[in-house]
């Protein structure tokens, strides 16, 4: 009797296993296809842009000015403009982002409503469409601050109350603020509690603990955050559409009140508003390649640093 039961049971299980296997393999296969599809798309985009952009991509292309109504030449001013943009943006965003993160991890109490509100607004900042930042930059920085500054210092003469590199960078810094906050917060969380308590137990004040123990531990997080923010800021176009990006400039920006050229904006106008889109195709692809190399390599560096932080925490 026992053997028969075992046999039927075995049969039952093996049958079930067989039935499940086909269906299960199919279902798992679908999820696998989804993953492969996404990865394939990613590499196809990368491949096509590299392939189409490679012939024009050269050192000369990067270091020369556009010529002949932007149908020839390089992208040097766009590259420099992007560089200035991200530098000014980082100067504005990194301190504020770091301080906010320190507040959230060190000062905010577990259940405080204020900290929850700060967290919520950071997350909201991260999901607000980038074009809204552009509108805000126009409405607040240019129309309000810029015009106000002109009235106060220049006697109403138009100087700051128009799109320029400073307003574009500040607009961009708002956009990238959450990126920095999240990275620094993550790094701060990996600092063991014991370290802080040891410092406090030795008689250090809270501020001394933060200055000498917590802050040094957050440097890697600040670095990751800055790199990610730069990568994001270099690629975003919508916020600078009407806060400072220029179609074409014959010279590099000399001061913060100048307009600037930008890689992403350059791609946009070359591919949609240029007089001869077909002819400048190689330039467009090469510019896209430069931008892609810039953002992806920055991201890669950030990912590597971040995984190191995580490993350390373990």
Q: Which of residues 52-81 bind other proteins (CB under 8 A)?
A: none
Shortest Å, Cβ 54 to other proteins: 15
CB of 143 to other proteins, least distance (A): 7
CB of 266 to other proteins, least distance (A): 9
Binding residue (CB under 8 A) for other proteins from 57, 61, 65, 133: 133
Q: Taking contact as CB under 8 A, which single stretch among the options 35-43, 60-68, 189-197, 216-224 is the one that binds other proteins?
A: 35-43
**Which of 15, 144, 152, 313 forms a contact with other proteins (CB under 8 A)?**
144
CB-nearer residue toward other proteins: 29 or 69 = 29
Please identify which residue in 214, 288, 305, 309 interacts with other proteins, judged by CB under 8 A.
288
Neighbours of 310 (CB within 10 A): 12
Helix, strand, or coil here: 66?
strand
| Whole-number Å distance between alpha carbons of 269 and 174 | 24
| For other proteins, the closer CB: 104 or 166 | 104
User: 212 — phi, psi (to 5°)?
Assistant: -100, -20
Of 264, 191, 175, residue with least CA distance to 228 = 175
CB of 80 to other proteins, least distance (A): 18
Q: Of 75, 104, 180, 283, which lies in the binding site for other proteins, with binding defined by CB under 8 A?
A: 104
For the bound state, the minimum distance from the C-beta of residue 296 to other proteins, rounded and expressed in Å, comes to: 6
CB of 17 to other proteins, least distance (A): 8
Grouping H, G, I as helix, E, B as strand and the rest as coil, residue 259 is coil
Segment interacting with other proteins, rule: CB under 8 A, options 57-65, 193-201, 248-256, 283-291: 283-291
The Cα–Cα gap between 112 and 116 comes to 6
User: Is the distance from CB of 309 to CB of 190 less than 8 angstroms?
Assistant: yes
Which stretch, 64-72, 187-195, 218-226, 282-290, contacts other proteins (CB under 8 A)? 282-290
Q: Is 191 left (phi over 0), alpha (psi -120 to 50) or beta?
A: beta
Looking at the Cβ atoms of 80 and 118, the one nearer to other proteins is 118
Contacts of other proteins in 159-188 (CB under 8 A):
174, 177-178, 181
* Integer Cα distance of 110 and 209 in angstroms: 19
Instruction: Check binding of 8 to other proteins (CB under 8 A).
Output: no
Spatial distance between the Cα atoms of 30 and 33, rounded to a whole number of angstroms: 5
Candidates 1-9, 120-128, 190-198, 250-258: pick the segment binding other proteins (CB under 8 A).
120-128
> Hey, what are 93's tokens?
């965003």
Cα(99)–Cα(171) distance, integer angstroms: 19
* Cα separations in angstroms, 159 against 145, 152, 154, 282: 12, 11, 8, 37
Q: How far is CA 90 from CA 83, 209, 264, in A?
A: 11, 26, 18
Q: Give the alpha-carbon dihedral of 173, 178, 183, 186, to 10 degrees.
A: 150
Contacts (CB under 8 A) with other proteins, residues 218-247: 231, 234-238, 241-242
Interacting residue with other proteins among 66, 81, 134, 221 (CB under 8 A): 134
The residue from 50, 80, 108, 213 that contacts other proteins (CB under 8 A) is 108
């Amino acid at each position: 009797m026992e053997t028969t039961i075992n046999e039927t049971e075995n049969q039952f299980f093996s049958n079930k296993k067989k039935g499940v296997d086909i269906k299960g393999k199919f279902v798992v296969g679908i999820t696998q296809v989804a993953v492969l599809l996404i990865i394939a798309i990613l590499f196809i985009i990368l491949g096509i842009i590299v392939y189409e952009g490679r012939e024009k991509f050269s050192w000369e292309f990067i270091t020369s000015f556009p010529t002949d109504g932007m149908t020839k030449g390089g992208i040097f001013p766009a590259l420099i403009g992007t560089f200035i943009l991200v530098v000014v943006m980082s100067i504005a965003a990194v301190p504020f982002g770091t301080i906010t993160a320190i507040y959230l991890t060190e000062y905010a109490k577990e259940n405080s409503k204020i900290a929850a509100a700060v967290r919520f607004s950071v997350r909201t900042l991260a999901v607000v469409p980038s074009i809204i930042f552009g509108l805000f930059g126009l409405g607040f920085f240019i129309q309000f601050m810029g015009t106000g500054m002109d009235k106060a210092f220049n006697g109403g003469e138009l100087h700051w109350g128009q799109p320029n590199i400073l307003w574009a960078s500040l607009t961009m810094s708002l956009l990238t603020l959450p990126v920095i906050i999240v990275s620094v917060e993550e790094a701060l969380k990996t600092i063991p509690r014991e370290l802080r308590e040891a410092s406090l137990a030795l008689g250090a004040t809270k501020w001394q603990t933060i200055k000498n123990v917590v802050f040094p531990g957050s440097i890697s997080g600040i670095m990751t955050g800055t790199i990610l923010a730069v990568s994001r800021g270099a690629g975003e176009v919508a916020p600078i559409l009407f806060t400072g990006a220029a179609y074409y400039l014959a010279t590099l920006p000399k001061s913060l009140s100048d307009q600037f050229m930008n890689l992403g904006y350059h791609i946009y106008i070359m591919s949609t508003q240029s007089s001869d889109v077909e002819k400048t195709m190689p330039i467009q692809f090469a510019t896209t390649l430069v931008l892609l190399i810039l953002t992806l390599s920055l991201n890669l560096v950030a990912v590597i640093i971040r995984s190191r932080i995580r490993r350390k925490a373990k």
